[in-house]
Amino acid sequence: MDHLVCFLPGTLALGAHNGLPADHMDLAKELMQTCYQMYVQMETGLSPEIVHFIMHQDSTRDIDVKPADRHNLLRPETVESLFYLYRFTKDPKYQDWGWEILQNFNKYTKVSSGGYTSINNVRDPDYPSPRDKMESFFLGETLKYLYLLFSEDLDLISLDKYVFNTEAHPLPIWPSTE
């Protein structure tokens, strides 16, 4: 499962909020748990780009990561979904999960001279191998969704008045003319 899939819990929650069957929210919560586990099962607490599910009953781990997939690019998809699930459920565990992720970004990817960097190895907390590269989506999406997740103003960019595009830009929802 690619980290990019972790946008889906938020999309499912948004659909359920707007009238799709309630089981969409149930699936959103379950998939959100899977995305969260992609973080907490890594030694740095940061998700790799891709995980493989371990289906053997005698395994002590749920997921495995191949060496070529151990990097973290500071992607927004998981925190985006945490934002949506928190807004719709008000369950503080989604804020707690986001806080853990933010703390691990600070611990393993923050650069002393300013900014953040992608890392090559989420499995090595002693030397995660910084890449000296910060993608623009970290500032434009990841940190924006974290800010909104932690905002006390739940109407800040109301999800009944705005929709976010794939680059986290809020667009107004215009009333129907019918």
Q: How far is the C-alpha of 37 from the C-alpha of 139, rounded, in Å?
A: 24
**Which of the 8 DSSP states describes residue 2?**
B
Please say whether the beta carbons of 119 and 56 come within 8 A. no
**Which of the 8 DSSP states describes residue 168?**
S
Q: How far is the C-alpha of 73 from the C-alpha of 86, rounded, in Å?
A: 24
Please say whether the beta carbons of 138 and 78 come within 8 A. no
Please say whether the beta carbons of 26 and 89 come within 8 A. no
Distance (Å) of CA 118 to CA 7, 42, 70, 111, 135? 19, 15, 11, 10, 8
Got the DSSP string for 5-37?
Answer: GGGHHHHHHHHHHTTS-THHHHHHHHHHHHHHH
Please give the positions annotated as active site: 49
